[in-house]
Structure 1
Amino acid sequence: MRTTALSKTFAGTTVLRAAHLEVRRGEVHALLGGNGSGKSTLIKLLAGVYHADPGGRIQVQGVSSSADEWSPTVARSAGLHFVHQDPAVFPTLTVAENLAIGRGFVRGVGGRIDWSATLRRTAEVLERFSLEVSPDTPVAALRPADRTMLAIARALQDQEGAHDGVLVLDEPTASLPAGEVAILLAALRKYAAAGQTIVYVSHRLSEVLELADRVTVLRDGAQVTTRDTCDLTEEGLVELIAGRKLDGVFPERHGAVGQDVVMSVRGLAAGPLRGVDLDLHRGEILGVAGLLGSGRTALLRAIFGDLPVTAGGIRLAGKPYRPSRPARAMKAGIALVPEDRGTEGLFASLSVRENFSASVVSRYWSRARLQHRRERADARQLVSAYGVRPASDLPIAGTLSGGNQQKVVIARWLRRDPVVLLLDEPTQGVDVQARADIYEHVRQAAAAGTAVLLVTSDFDELAHMADRAVVLREGRVAVEVHGADLDPHRLTELSYLIKET
């Protein structure tokens, strides 16, 4: 596959400039870049979702076209297959039904579905892609990694040759815990060894170095370099992506945690939670580890009033606190940055300025009028303080890159000076430079006295950011971790191996 002089301009702003990407047959080729670098735009141009500016060209397996005439139909006929971060599988349907949606059901007499033939064909596809699941298993019962592999199998099942075409994977591991990532990477290595061409987009640089043969780096809409991964280190990749050396992704701790207990949780039951006990101190970052289903997200949502509490209690600043609804939580000084920023954290159709103002809109009302001048001034100050790009309060928030969207969400909550900040996967799908910025803002908030409850599947992030951590298992706190045990490997071991007493 080869792109030549691929460019894209939106409303007079060039977001991709003469990009050149050359992928060799049978290789794993990583596409990297910071948020806003142009890599998502490049993927959408390849898929035909966007039309490129005139002058570029795309060639895939002998199919060649001017880039501005490339379309989803041409992309499919050329053998391009796309699987995104959230694979479009249908949890309530079976594995066989999900695969059939991709190519159609086998029909028998009178046009009725021939279920026997459909199940046989499904079994053949599952064997081909080494998926050890049953055709009649509901997708909701599959592990997250198996769901992604099912999406890959559905995308590739109709290739003429076993490993024809180009598989484009856009952040396939962003929402997977460590154990599931290992399963998926093992499957991808097997596909690649058999000759499948893969374009791999990820912010997880360790995965890139483990999996990819070569890497192309974009920065500010332009191609920086294409290199063999055998010549690179994580530090080298960070420098290529950021355009400079980062002193460190994780900021240094600012000092000792306060002794004041800001929030006390006792016997909390809600959703999968079966009796959680924990204390959160002023200025502390308390990490929460655990596998999917352990109750990590449920804990944050229960505290925020978004999940009904069925037993137990919470005390906030020494007083009883009953989180009946999010509005009450906000009034009490609690803020939540949710895991799914696209649908729950961001007002995607509103401007950056309007997103900033949403949590404090009453500040700008005076004499039944909204004070736009003061709102604009504050928004511009936040854009500068949080390093939002482009450096303007006017863009529609949904058009920003993932990292800049997350900065907007975090800035919107931190401007309220919350007593307790709840963070659910705050750097998921965010590039290394944006991660460093987010970490610094969270650390500064903690230094100013905000108590932070941090849920993350990234144990390296947890070990470096948390002052202390708890491991949830089956809805309860199984162990508390601090000191030398606050280590990524130890956290992984405890999350997978610790037994309840």
Structure 2
Amino acid sequence: MNEQTATNLTEVERARRVALAVQDVSKTYGATRALDRVSLEVTGGAIHGLMGGNGSGKSTLIKMLAGVVTPDEGRLSLKGGWIDARSHTPARAKASGLHFVHQQNSTFPDLTVAENLALGRGFESTAVKSINWHAQKARARQVLDRFEIDVAADAHLVRLSPAAQMMVAIARALQDQDDTDERGVLVLDEPTASLPKHEVDVLLTALRRYAADGQTIIYVSHRLEEVTAITNEVTVLRNGCVASRLTGAEISHDTLVAGITGSSPSSKQGGSRRSNDVIASRVHLSQSAGFRETALTLSRRTPNGTTDERLLVRAGEIVGIAGLLGSGRSRMLKQIFGATPRDDFDVTVRSGTVPPSDMRTAMKRGLAFVPENRLREAALPELSIAENLSITSLSEHSRVGWIRPARERKAAQRLINEFGVRAPSTRAPLTALSGGNQQKVILARWLQRRPDVLLLDEPTQGVDIGARNEIHELVRAAASAGTAVLVVSSDFGELAALAQRAVVVSGGEVVDSVDGPLTEDILNDIVYAQEKAL
């Protein structure tokens, strides 16, 4: 065997091991280069991490793989055959064995597991074309057994744990993949974004099992600890380009941070003083006012006519709300703000009481609320960045009832600069921004009102480490200027990093409190101890 033949055999063997390859793919939107000659190789049976900051090109690359975005140039190889990436379509993606479970889960919580699985491929039917429920449940049980998901086929999805719901979504995506054929590629986009820590561990264990059985997985996540724990290889994107490729022992917290941000973790220490100074100038509390006066009180009326204080937050304090999914933690924030009815407790702020189900009065009383699902509950996606910023302060940009666009855009540009929003212009739609920059727009929208109380629900869900640090800095700056902050997060590490103390919520009630200094382990231990006791 000559050297050339040996080289050719090596290339053939390598090609057989590569389940998916992308070569020199580019995509431009106007003046923005979303992907710049990106190349990627995913080894068959590996868990391949795809990482990068918001705006790095991850979403564009995933959409290209799904066939819903057409690149300007490049090639794509699935199961060994190269095609022009511009000819890739959703139908070809499916036929080639590409399966996707997106961050916004498309399962239906009010339907059963069997019904959710059927929506992925069609219902079993009788000879007269009615649904054969017996056959449908039997087939669902086969799928559940195959993926080792210990739930009942007739259980409603809403009653399952978050990890089990995600595994059902994965099983639905892969259910028609024949075990005897070459496995396809499963793309998971932020699968743990809303999962608490113990549920993350359950899901990661399942994914390791699937990969050991030969399933190739592309794992997209902002959570560095998960990527270091589960992946065999990683591709990091930055500014539309491949910043680094890592395998095996090369994958570490520091190498991932360096790839994502372009600098070592140590260079990020210390933060920026600018946003602290800017926000302090925008918040009306002065140092002389003192930060220890009570800014928010939740109290419950007892049968004997006394008042039982459930929660008290002082000016300048950041208080975390810890609890498992379904504990009522998010509902509590909505009740405080008046977005959800309440009748079992009273809300008092420095300017007076806040009536239930009255968001307008809550805003007048100095409350601000950033909900968990920004796209559905906070953003106006098709409106411009300027319009999204001005929606909470229209009176400042209007005259005799008419909006003054020039004034609105000028104010928006000032906020963009002050809050470090990376945006092409104030006229661009909010959807043109990355997730982290969208979240900073929502924060800026509220902080320009100089709130007494800021309610945050999952403030960094689905954003990269750079944006997460910037958002944390903005929150700390608001608190240092006197705003009381009440924050909910599924990531107890985030609560430990942000909050001076925390309360534990279960069943919509405050059942415990934890004074600082906080750690993720302390919060985990207390939350699960409370759940076990209840």
TM-score (norm 1): 0.94
Partner of 1:149: 167
Which of 308, 311, 314 is 1:281 aligned to?
314
Match of 1:101 among 119, 124, 129: 119
Residue of structure 1 equivalent to 2:13:
none
Tell whether 2:493 aligns with 1:493: no
Candidates 248, 264, 277, aligned match of 1:245: 264
SS at match of 1:140: helix
Quick one: structure 1 residues 38 and 268, their matched pair in 2 at CA, closer, same or farther if it must change by over 3 Å? farther
**Cα distance in 2 for residues equivalent to 1:305 and 1:20:** 49
Over 3 Å counting, the alpha-carbon distance change for 1:266 and 1:8 in structure 2 is same
Instruction: State the one-letter code of the partner of 2:117.
Output: L
Deviation at 1:24, TM superposition (A): 0.7
Choose the corresponding residue for 1:236, options 255, 269, 273: 255
After the TM superposition, which of the residue ranges 314-323 and 125-134 deviates more from structure 2?
A: 314-323
- 1:224 counterpart SS class: strand
Matched position secondary structure for 2:415: helix
- 2:43 is paired with a residue whose SS is coil
Q: Cα deviation per residue 1:136-182 (whole Å; 9 max; x = unaligned)?
A: 11112111111111111111111123671000000000011112111
What SS does the corresponding residue of 2:119 show, helix, strand or coil? helix
Consecutive unaligned residues of structure 2, counting only runs of 5 or more, are 1-19, 277-286, 303-307
Q: Partner residue of 1:474?
A: 507
- Find out whether 1:346 has 2:346 as its counterpart: no
Partner residue, 2:11: none
Q: Which residue of structure 2 aligns with residue 272 of structure 1?
A: none
Matched, 1:39 2:62: no
Matched, 1:69 2:102: no
Pairing 1:376–2:409 present: yes
Question: Structure 1, residues 46-87: CA drift from partner, whole Å, max 9, x if none?
Answer: 00111111x311111134321111100000000000001132
For the Cα contact (< 8 Å) 1:276–1:475, is it kept in 2? no
Q: How far, CA to CA, are the matches of 1:276 and 1:48 in structure 2?
A: 55
2:57, 2:27 → 1: CA distance?
9
* Native 8 Å contact 1:268 1:277 kept in 2: no
Deviation at 1:371, TM superposition (A): 2.7
- Tell me by how many angstroms 1:92 deviates: 2.1
- 1:475 Cα deviation from its structure 2 partner: 2.1
Match of 1:134 among 152, 158, 164: 152
Correspondent of 1:171 among 190, 199, 202: 190
Tell me which of 203, 207, 212 is aligned to 2:231.
212
Q: Secondary structure at the match of 1:362?
A: helix
Amino acid across the alignment from 1:77: A
Distance 2:44 2:323 in 1: 39
Secondary structure of 1:133's aligned partner: coil
The percentage of aligned residue pairs carrying the same residue is 47
Q: Distance in 2 between matches of 1:473 and 1:82?
A: 34
Q: 1:32 to 1:57 in 2, by over 3 A?
A: same
Partner of 2:217: 198
Q: Following the alignment from structure 2 to structure 1, what is the Cα–Cα distance between the partners of residues 162 and 533?
A: 24
- Could you say what secondary structure the match of 1:149 adopts? helix
Q: 3-state DSSP class of the match of 2:495?
A: helix
Is 1:80 the counterpart of 2:113? The answer is no
Aligned to 2:440: 407
Shift of residue 27 of structure 1?
0.4
Instruction: Describe how 1:285-434 pairs up with structure 2 within 5 A.
Output: 285-317=318-350, 319-434=352-467
> Structure 1 residues 157, 169: closer, same or farther in 2, change over 3 A?
same
Ranges of 4+ aligned residues in structure 1 off by more than 4 Å: 246-257
Check conservation: 2:47, 2:211, Cα contact below 8 A: yes
Aligned-pair CA distance for 1:319:
3.0
Q: Is the CA contact 1:251–1:443 (under 8 Å) kept in the aligned structure 2?
A: no
CA distance in 1, matches of 2:143, 2:344: 47
RMSD: 2.2
Displacement after TM superposition at 1:500 (Å): 6.0
**What stretches of structure 1 of length at least 5 have no aligned partner?**
270-274
Q: CA deviation at 1:243?
A: 0.9
Please tell me whether the aligned partners of residues 421 and 452 of structure 1 are also in contact (alpha carbons under 8 angstroms). yes
Q: Which residue of 92, 105, 108 maps to 1:90?
A: 108
392-401 or 487-496: bigger deviation: 392-401
Q: Give the Cα separation in 1 of the matches to 2:183 and 2:63.
A: 21
The 8 Å contact of residues 250 and 436 in structure 1, kept in 2 or not, is answered as no
How far apart, in 1, do the equivalents of 2:313 and 2:471 lie? Answer: 21
Using the alignment, how far apart are the partners of 1:11 and 1:355 within structure 2? 22
2:16 paired residue number:
none
Task: Kindly state the Cα deviation for residue 468 of structure 1 after the two structures are TM-superposed.
Answer: 1.2
- Native 8 Å contact 1:87 1:147 kept in 2: no
Structure having the higher Rg: 2
- Aligned pair 1:60/2:97, yes or no? no
Q: Residue type of the partner of 2:399?
A: S
Q: Which moved more, 1:399-408 or 1:375-384?
A: 375-384
1:368 CA drift (Å)? 4.6
- Per-residue CA deviations over 1:188-233 (Å, capped at 9, x if unaligned) read 0110111110000000000000000010000001111211142232
Q: 2:457 touches 2:489 (CA, 8 Å); kept in 1?
A: yes
User: Which residue identity is paired with 2:30?
Assistant: A
Q: Distance in 2 between matches of 1:136 and 1:232?
A: 41
Query: SS of the residue aligned with 2:470?
Result: helix
Measure the CA separation in 1 of the matches of 2:75 and 2:479.
50
2:141 corresponds to 1:123: yes
Aligned mates of 2:111, 2:354 — CA distance in 1: 41
1:6 and 1:216 map into 2 onto residues whose CA distance is: 14
Give the Cα separation in 1 of the matches to 2:455 and 2:391.
18
Structural mapping, 1:184-195, within 5 Å: 184-195=203-214
TM-score (normalizing by structure 2): 0.88
CA distance in 1, matches of 2:87, 2:191: 28
SS in 1 for 2:99: strand
